[in-house]
């Protein structure tokens, strides 16, 4: 029995720009990540952008930003995304300070 490629664990680094700090972006990221069974982290950066890494099944990782983007007051103007190597042993999604 072969494993479908969609079920492979992947990791994506995403940097978002716009109205993304002070509007619940990190909280919504944590909530959505839990619902999507993702691990990783989210962090505000000094320039006003937010950086996050999300890990899990590809379909779920791809759903994270659209779910968060539906939050009130959040306005993503631009994002940079890249697939990176998964992190072994990561068990949760949290906020980095």
Catalytic positions, written as ranges:
26, 44
The secondary structure of residue 85, as a DSSP letter, is P
HSE-CB for 20 with a 13 A CA cutoff: 25
How would you classify the pairing of strands 93-96 and 39-44? parallel
| 43's tokens | 């962090």
State the Cα–Cα distance between residues 9 and 24, nearest whole angstrom.
27
């Amino acid at each position: 029995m072969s494993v479908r490629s969609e079920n492979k664990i992947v990791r994506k680094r995403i940097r978002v720009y716009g109205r993304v700090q002070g509007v619940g972006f990190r909280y919504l990221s944590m909530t959505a990540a839990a619902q999507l069974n993702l691990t990783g982290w989210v962090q505000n950066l000094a320039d006003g952008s937010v950086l996050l890494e999300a890990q899990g099944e590809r379909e779920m990782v791809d759903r994270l930003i659209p779910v968060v983007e539906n939050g009130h007051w959040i306005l993503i103007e631009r994002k940079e995304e890249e697939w990176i190597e998964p992190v072994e042993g990561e068990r949760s999604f949290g906020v980095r300070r």
